[in-house]
A and B are shown apart, each in its own frame.
Chain A
Amino acid sequence: MKNSNETPIITIENMHKWYGDFHVLNDINLSVKRGERIVICGPSGSGKSTLIRCINRLEEHQRGKIIVDGTELTKDIKNIEKIRAEVGMVFQHFNLFPHLTILENLTLGPIWVRKIPKKKAEETAMYYLEKVRIAEQAKKFPGQLSGGQQQRVAIARSLCMEPNVMLFDEPTSALDPEMVKEVLDVMISLARDGMTMLVVSHEMGFAKSVAHRVMFMDAGQILEQNDPEEFFGNPQHERTKLFLSQILD
């Protein structure tokens, strides 16, 4: 893997999280290098979404450390805001704001959080809309777009904040099958540009083609991680083998 001598952009050490008594994340250790792309898979309830949601503090971890680009996530709102400004997130259900046009969805963060002048923000927004190949829809409302288009807009919205890391929480699992590809294509082109990506997904084709590392999680733990070739060709863990046999059929 390249850039191996750089400091990691995300470091997670001995991180635990509970929902009430339920131990969702159990002793997570993870280090992500700049430009690295990781696909996280695992059965539902294994904690994979919770893990990436902890990274931008949509969920609070209770023990251990999460450090993003040198800033540790603590209760300090300053740190949280700093990290959120650096980390973009794409959700399963897009979560576009239905009362704003596509363009307004994209400029909201830049204008209010990064204090960029409206004109400049709109230029940036159009640039990223071009990039996800949806510029002609800028004046429409999210409700007028298909699921795949909405998800591409959601990706563009995150990119407008010019993040260093992108988190994807099952970005294609709420989409009709024929729309999965257009979203994956956008993600692949993003990968080519060298974005650091953490993707929770069961799109194994995507994992094989762009991931540096594939992680398998079960019951709140990272059971196995390896480069895609090894991971799919020669899984070590029984649980991983079972899981892969189920989803690859």
Chain B
Amino acid sequence: MSKIETASATIKPPKTNIGIVGWSRAHLFNGWINSALTLFVLYGLYKVVPPFINWAFLHANWAPVSGTCSESSGACWSVVTANIRFILFGFYPHNLQWRPLLAIVILVLLLFFSQNRKRWNMKLLYIWTAGLFIMGVLLKGGLFGLESVETDNWGGLPLTLLLSVFGLAAAYPVGILLALGRQCRMPVIRSFCVVYIELIRGVPLISLLFMSSVVFPLFLPEGVVINKILRAQIAIILFTAAYIAEVVRGGLQGINKGHYEAAESLGLNYFQTMRLVILPQALKIVIPPSVSILISAFKDTSLVVIIALYDLLKTTQSTLTDPKWMGYSSEAYIFVACIYFVCCFAMSNYSRKLEKELDTDRR
């Protein structure tokens, strides 16, 4: 036995794919169809990439003044640089814009800090509560000598982040509860969850936002006004939760029945079984689809324009209605797209990292 083992250990795998030439022969030029495709793609890249670089960087205009753009053939980033404060902060009072900026910085720091799974404990919860309170005070003012700013003036990036971070953070637990409710043995709870999920998934988010801003206030007693942002926020939470619920349900069904039995035979009750045994496994399985939902929910927050909230996309759009900047929409939208991309990419990247860390089954 040992003789065979040592012999096989010394034999190396064949060197077919070594070096750039070997690699490209194996992956780019194996067979005439692939060779033709490779050449075609290369030609396409040649036609697109250099002109884009020329346009976006070499001949671009960065000066934050209008008018200079008409002479150059490149991109007019001036539309972004000149209006950056309006795009990012909307109608927030000009001299107070350091406050939302600081709030965003705190949020980003908090998210960074929470990345590490070792820090997920009660302390983190306190840190978040404190952080959220500070962010709220920064945005709203009225405390500690900070000038009060009406929520009607909130807009741009802080609004987008507010709607999505709160929306996603709240929708996830609600979604889990709905998923558990849908599996519940008690018919009243089960039917409620089924009806809720199917109803919400059956209507577009826009109609929910409309209802929250137009229909819902009709039912409130006179004089009672619920903040517009809060209403949009709730609509987003309720909407996203229904989708999360179905994804989580899929995860719950993927759990081997034996784990329920093992937990039961240890004497764990329903909540302990769910919290300690079933959900950790189920949620891990559904990380990829839940992140898809979170990403799409993040982008869907831009639909709040429909109820006249000035989120990031809407502030950008408003900039472009200014006659000085008409015709430079590509530049403005590319800028906003980059912001959205960074956020979404960070989410999906992080989720993949988390998936890898949690993969204890097949190591």
Contact = CB atoms under 8 A, between A and B. Distances in A.
B150 to A, nearest CB: 47
Contacts of A109: 266-268
Contacts of A87: 265
Contacts of B190: none
A87 B266 CA distance: 8
Interface string A62-85: 000000000000000000010011
B360 A141 contact: yes
A141 B361 CA distance: 7
Interface stretch (A3-11, A93-101, A119-127): A93-101
A108 B276 contact: yes
B117 to A, nearest CB: 12
A110 B265 CA distance: 12
Contacts of B361: 98-99, 141, 143
A112 interface: yes
Contacts of A95: 256, 258-259, 261-262
Nearest to B257: A95
A144 B362 CA distance: 7
Given A98-B281, A99-B281, A93 B258 contact: yes
B262 A91 contact: yes
A87 B263 CA distance: 13
A113 interface: yes
A112 B269 CA distance: 9
B284 interface: yes
B268 A108 contact: yes
A161 interface: yes
A222 interface: no
A96 B258 CA distance: 9
A77 B142 CA distance: 53
B349 to A, nearest CB: 22
B269 A81 contact: yes
A141 B277 contact: no
Given A91-B261, A93-B258, A99-B281, A144 B267 contact: no
B16 to A, nearest CB: 33
A144 B360 CA distance: 9
Interface string B342-363: 0000000000000000101111
A223 interface: no
B280 interface: yes
Given A99-B281, A112-B276, A161 B267 contact: yes
A113 B273 CA distance: 11
B256 A112 contact: no
B284 to A, nearest CB: 7
A58 interface: yes
A113 B266 contact: yes
Q: Specify which of A58, A99, A154 lies most central, judged by the most chain B CB atoms within 10 Å of its CB.
A: A99
A181 B30 CA distance: 53
Nearest to B284: A99
A99 B358 contact: yes
A85 B267 contact: yes
B152 interface: no
A56 B267 CA distance: 10
Contacts of A158: 265-266
B281 A89 contact: no
In the complex, the 10 A-B pairs of residues with the closest C-beta atoms, listed nearest first: A95-B262, A109-B266, A95-B258, A89-B265, A113-B267, A141-B360, A84-B267, A98-B361, A143-B361, A85-B267
Interface of B: 256, 258-259, 261-269, 272, 276-277, 280-281, 284, 358, 360-363
13 contacts: A58-B264, A85-B267, A88-B265, A91-B258, A91-B261, A96-B262, A97-B259, A97-B262, A113-B268, A141-B360, A143-B360, A158-B265, A158-B266
Interface of A: 56-58, 81, 84-85, 87-89, 91, 93, 95-99, 108-109, 112-114, 141, 143-144, 154, 157-158, 161
